[in-house]
Structure 1
Amino acid sequence: MLPLERQKKIIDLLTVRKVMKLTELTEELQVSIETLRRDMNLLTRQGKIEKIYGGVKLAQSTFGESMIEERMFSQLREKEVIAQKCSEYIHDGDCIYIDSGSTTYQLAKYIKQKKKLTVITNSIPVVNELLHSEIELLIIGGKVRQNEQSIVAFDYLFNFSELNIAKAFICASGITIEKGISDYNLEEANTRKKIIELSQQVYVAADSTKFGKDVTIGIAPLDKIDYIITDDHLHQDFISSFQGTGTHLILS
């Protein structure tokens, strides 16, 4: 197993088990304690894990956005049903954009059988998921955000004006009636703004915990969003408030 694969496995295990002893990790990974300590030292310097007495745990996010590895497992059932509902709006021959994020990543799993589908994305996990399918993949060029496993765009590296996107599936960390959708990272927000401008229809895929939050960077007001697809745990107050907007709220 390569070091990067081993380090990802450590994060995956800690996401599920929360805390693990060193002996448990060496058994799971089939490596020596010296090799494990090298991986742990690197992950600690990257701020991904914390060493505790006799073991290790995921680093706690003190503010802002949690790591993509952690979000891949949180609210997983809700994200899967949201992604499955999103897939119903994707048809053979479509050209779509799939955003970086743990919810939109799930969407890639449900579209592999679509015919003559073109997927534009900035998500490395989405690319990996679709790499061996028959879907035509276009990945935008720019800077890699390692913690988010995404690529944030630079105009001089990618010609956005050439894109003809029928449907964009966007993530958001916050959704309010007053401010629309928002996120924590400026570069991710700028990429999403460009994609929203170019897309014929815009779908926001977000679980119900994102509603009522207005986080660091505004992305777009609700009048730029055609559909928001969320889970059925959304509070009735939010459902009622959306009836006066032009954005269609879809519960999965």
Structure 2
Amino acid sequence: MLGVERQNYIIQLLEEKKFLRLNELVGQLRASEATIRRDLNTLERKGRLLRIHGGARLISSVVHEKGMLEKKTLHLKEKQKIAKLASQYLEDGQKIYLDAGTTVEALIPYLKERKNIEIITNGYSHLFHLLGKGIPTYVIAGKVKEKTQSLVGARAVLSLRDFYFDTAFLGANSMNEEGFMTPDPEEAIVKEAVVKRANKSYVLADSSKWEQELGIVFAKRGDVMLITEEDEK
């Protein structure tokens, strides 16, 4: 099969299944893993798909996602419990990454208790709260996603190369025994890059996120620590 034929077939498969793992593509196309990787890289450069941890997804296949204003009204007590539990992992002198999202936002009041910290974030909605507390803050570059008030995409990933984190706090739209997920590929690649650049990463997610509509896995269970309101004693 010629390269162009293989690549067209990959797109056809993705249009049917939305997401495919690398080993699935190798089996379907009966080609080497190296060949499939080259095809995926070519298709990504052409803007046809997005490479995700373990496979690929069509760029256009984004699941419906609630906006920030709607999320702010959901599970408020649970978010407060989670933030309190997460605060025990804050230490003086840390470089801390804060993911966009309302559960992570609930952690911000606890930051004022720590000295000599620096915050790096892709959540521009966090700025008002952080600057109001006088906390040194950096915002990464990226494509503006209005719905989640975040900066995402390849530009955001490139921007992250300038940073390393002692601790990262991330949100998730859903989770299961495999790992933690978000429906948007452009957010997934940012979260995945953060986990790779952090000494320790924590996912803050309430129990309603279990077995929700599946998305793109940005971290496996062993890569991060989950903090949920069910941990409260």
> What do you get for the CA RMSD once the two structures are aligned?
1.8
Match of 1:90 in 2: 90
Kept after mapping to 2: 8 A contact 1:141/1:154: no
SS of corresponding position for 2:86: helix
- Compute the displacement of 1:214 (Å): 5.3
Distance change in 2, residues 1:143/1:78 (3 Å): same
Q: What SS does the corresponding residue of 2:107 show, helix, strand or coil?
A: helix
Structure 1 regions of 5+ residues with no counterpart? 1-62, 233-249
For 1:58-207, list aligned pairs within 5 A: 64-155=64-155, 158-177=158-177, 179-207=178-206
TM-score for the superposition, normalised by structure 2: 0.69
Q: Does 1:219 align with 2:221?
A: no
- For structure 2, the 5+ residue unaligned runs are 1-62
Question: Could you tell me which residue of structure 2 aligns to residue 21 of structure 1?
Answer: none
Residues 44-79 of structure 1, C-alpha deviations (whole Å, 9 max, x = no match): xxxxxxxxxxxxxxxxxxx63211111111000100
Larger RCO (CA under 8 A, 6+ residues apart): 2
Deviation digits for residues 168-223 of structure 1 (CA, Å, limit 9, x no counterpart):
1011111111x201111111111000000111001000000011235221212112
Q: Shift of the alpha carbon at 1:83?
A: 0.8
Q: Does structure 1 conserve the Cα–Cα contact (< 8 Å) formed by 2:97 and 2:167?
A: yes
TM-score w.r.t. structure 1 length? 0.64
> Alpha-carbon deviation of 1:158?
4.3
The match for 1:243 is none
Change in CA separation of 1:204 and 1:157 when aligned onto 2, cut-off 3 Å: closer
Q: Which runs of 4+ in 1 moved over 6 A?
A: none
- Structure with more of its chain in helix, by fraction: 2
Could you say what secondary structure the match of 1:119 adopts?
strand
How far apart, CA to CA, are the structure 2 residues paired with 1:160 and 1:139? 10
